[in-house]
Copies of this chain bind each other. A is one copy, B any other.
């Protein structure tokens, strides 16, 4: 099965819709391709109807809520990639994620939070191609007050 089909199936199972590719919040492009690598900008969690998820993890959101936010940020990355590439089937593999979690000083489960996005990518691209390198860490604040921001590098086919 192709990545595009797996995405449709996965979204149906989650009861989610694909969001629109997000507009930049500043002077940057959502994704930039050099050679066979696609570098995405940091993506924020937005629902399919355009609502931004906000709040601090460990305070306003628990791990489950934060994982859901990470999943939405991951969906936003897929929406950006699809808009740029035409089809997610052109993605050869996930290279790397950088996951920032807006959380309290005592919160230490950043990896569990970012798993929300990593599981989505594993479901869509398969475990072999969908799981890459990753760093997750806690930050003091994020743009527009979101709980999670994620950037990614993908290897693609031309």
User: Is B96 a contact of A134 with CB atoms below 8 Å?
Assistant: no
Interface size class of A (residues with CB under 8 A): 35 or more
User: Is B39 a contact of A112 with CB atoms below 8 Å?
Assistant: no
Binding site for B on A (CB under 8 A): 25-32, 34-37, 39-42, 56, 93, 95-98, 100, 102-112, 114-115, 118-119, 122, 131-145, 149, 151, 153, 155
Q: How many angstroms between the C-alpha atoms of A107 and B144 in the bound complex?
A: 8
Instruction: Collect the chain B residues with CB atoms within 8 Å of residue A31's CB.
Output: 133
- Apart from A41-B134, A42-B135, A108-B141: 8 A-B pairs, beta carbons within 8 A: A28-B134, A41-B133, A41-B135, A103-B141, A104-B140, A135-B151, A137-B142, A137-B149
Q: How many angstroms between the C-alpha atoms of A114 and B28 in the bound complex?
A: 10
Q: How many angstroms between the C-alpha atoms of A70 and B134 in the bound complex?
A: 18
Q: List 17 A-B contacts (CB under 8 A).
A: A26-B136, A28-B131, A28-B132, A29-B132, A29-B133, A29-B134, A30-B133, A34-B37, A41-B133, A41-B134, A42-B134, A100-B135, A106-B141, A108-B142, A110-B142, A133-B151, A138-B142
